[in-house]
Amino acid sequence: MKKILYFSVMISLFVGCRTQQKLVSIDKETNEFELKVGQSCEIQFVTNASTGYWWQLVNEDEINVVKSVGDRYTSNAPKGMVGAPSTRYWKFEAEKKGTQTLHFVYARDNVNEAVRTRDVTITVK
Domain contains 10: no
Q: Which domain holds residue 118?
A: 20-124
78: DSSP letter = P
Q: What is the DSSP letter of 112?
A: G
Distances (CA, A) of 32 to 19, 24, 45, 92: 21, 10, 15, 14
Model pLDDT, residue 78: 80
Q: Measuring CA to CA, which residue among 36, 4, 43, 5 is closest to residue 18?
A: 36
Q: Is residue 13 part of a domain?
A: no
| Per-residue model confidence (pLDDT) at position 77 | 79
Structural domain contains residue 38: yes
pTM: 0.73
Q: Which pLDDT value is given to residue 84?
A: 80
CATH, residue 107 = 2.60.40.2020
Query: Would you call 84 exposed, middle or buried from its count of C-beta atoms within 10 A (0-12, 13-18, 19+)?
Result: middle
Task: Provide the domain count of the chain.
Answer: 1
Q: Is 114 exposed, middle or buried (0-12, 13-18, 19+ CB in 10 A)?
A: middle
Helix (H) or strand (E) holding 87: strand 86-94
Kindly state the average pLDDT of the residues 29-51.
Answer: 85
Report if residue 2 sits inside a domain. Answer: no
- Comparing 93 with 1, which gets the higher pLDDT? 93
Q: Where are the alpha helices (DSSP H) in the chain?
A: 2-19
Rounded Cα distance between 114 and 117, Å, is 7
56 lies in a domain? yes
- 32 inside domain: yes
Q: Among the listed ranges 10-19, 39-48, 53-62, 106-115, which one has the minimum average pLDDT value?
A: 10-19
Q: Grade residue 20 by pLDDT with cuts at 50, 70 and 90.
A: low
Taking residues 11-29, report their average pLDDT: 50
Mean pLDDT of the chain: 78
Which of the two residues, 63 and 18, has the higher pLDDT score? 63
11 inside domain: no
* pLDDT tens digits for range 82-121: 778 888 889 999 999 999 999 999 998 766 788 899 899 9
